[in-house]
A and B are shown apart, each in its own frame.
Chain A
Amino acid sequence: MKHLPKHLRPRYRYLWVRIEAWPDADVGRRALQRAVWAEARGLFGDAGSAAIDPTVVQFAFEDGAGTAAVRVRRGEVDRGRAALACVAALDGDPVGIRIQGVSGTIHAGEERYMRARPEGGSEKTVVFGGVERAAVVRSDRVDVRTDGAFAGATDLDLGR
């Protein structure tokens, strides 16, 4: 179909998101897309989710940390924000969603919010709770492997 003339095209805003998860989480773009739609629909119904029209336009995720950009219709930023905030898990993996900011274009948002990408994690052995354990360390944040799960910690918790 022919593109709409510029003045008739929908106007959008872009929500720039940081995603946090445990290091073994396997999270994909489609999972985020599904989750945002489901939350928008759950909170605002079919009509509301159509009005917000949340669409994942950028996505990167590795070793428990990632970034995404979610496009919503202009004027629907608050409802889009609420839907994103309610994304608690992706494909069963719990996630932390941190909205860094909102931009009017992808280009402006990339410049402003995606300059510093989350650094990769490294496997290390740490002492946590008096026991040596494997951990994934990303700057001062430490995800310690405990029996069958992870514990979220920082370097302040290590060595004791």
Chain B
Amino acid sequence: MYEAVHARPDGESTVARMAATAADCGFGGIVVRNHGGERAEYDADAIAERYGVDVVDGVEIRAADTSRAGGYLGSHRPERTVVLVHGGDPAINRFAVENARVDVLAHPMAGDGDVNHVIAEAAAEHGVALEVDLSPVLRASGGRRARAIADLRKLRELIDHAGAPYVVSADARSHLQVRAPRELVAVGEVVGFDREAIEAGMAEWKRIAARNRERLAPDYVEPGVWRAGSGDAGAEDGNAGTREEEP
């Protein structure tokens, strides 16, 4: 199970500290989801070796309008493993779910954002995961939390109905905000998600990362297809038979 975090300079703790805490909590990996202009510097291999946590290079695109979001998407997509779009605005939400190059629509219910059946079905059609952001349940209180819980309940029903992919996160901005998978399961139950649903949402980050790493590999052509002479990039998946010779 993976968690997605904001690290320095976008958060308060370094990627290494986030990874160390994630390891203590029993996560297998973290996705670094710093906003576009606040890239973190880190040595993913050294961190992975020390703490036994996979560090996934991600970005959360935050844009004022959809045309700029499109521009950022074009520049980040070729080099980042996981691309999220900072949701919470109706136009941006719509842009994200209609664009298959986006992996995750982050916190779609935040701010003025909302999700309806059209958004959920577009997310399902284009394979864009909707984020179940537990942070307001964990860190807000009173009326704000009540509204956030109501929004998450609605989101769950729409995800269920549309069969849309989704990820679960505590959206931690410091190592102190990281909570272990069991704790997120317990909090998820408050919001109406059962254990399996929360665990699947934490595992989805890992699946997205693995899929995109494969796609970013230089010899990749399309699912199950690699250029010849590229070694055994996909052989362990039993896809060797579908390899194509390049003309």
Q: Do A and B come from one complex?
A: yes
By a beta-carbon cutoff of 8 Å, the part of chain A in contact with chain B is 20-22, 38-39, 42-44, 78-79, 81-82, 84-86, 88, 94-99, 140-142, 149-154, 156-157
Please state if A81 and B183 are interface contacts (CB–CB under 8 Å).
yes
Bound Cα distance from A22 to B17, whole angstroms: 13
- Indicate if the CB atoms of A152 and B175 lie closer than 8 Å: yes
Residues in chain A near residue B145, CB distance under 8 A: 42
Which residues does chain B contribute within 8 Å of A97, judged by CB atoms?
179, 183
Kindly provide the distance from the CB of A156 to the nearest chain B CB, expressed in whole angstroms.
Answer: 4
- Once the chains are docked, how many angstroms separate the CA of A113 from the CA of B190? 27
Contact across chains for A140 and B20 when beta carbons are under 8 A apart: yes
Q: With a CB–CB cut-off of 8 A, which chain A residues contact B25?
A: 98
Q: Does B174 contact A (CB under 8 A)?
A: yes
Q: How many residues of B contact A (CB 8 A)?
A: 35
Closest Cβ–Cβ distance, residue A128 to chain B (whole Å): 9
B43 within 8 A of A: yes
Distance, CA A84 to CA B50, complexed state (A): 29
CB distance from B92 to the nearest CB of A (A): 27
Which of A88, A99, A157 lies in contact with B16, CB distance below 8 A? A157
Closest residue of A by beta carbon distance from B15:
A157
- B217 contacts A by Cβ under 8 Å: no
Verify A152–B17 contact, CB threshold 8 A.
yes
Contact B17 A99 (CB under 8 A): no
A22 CA / B174 CA spacing, docked (Å): 11
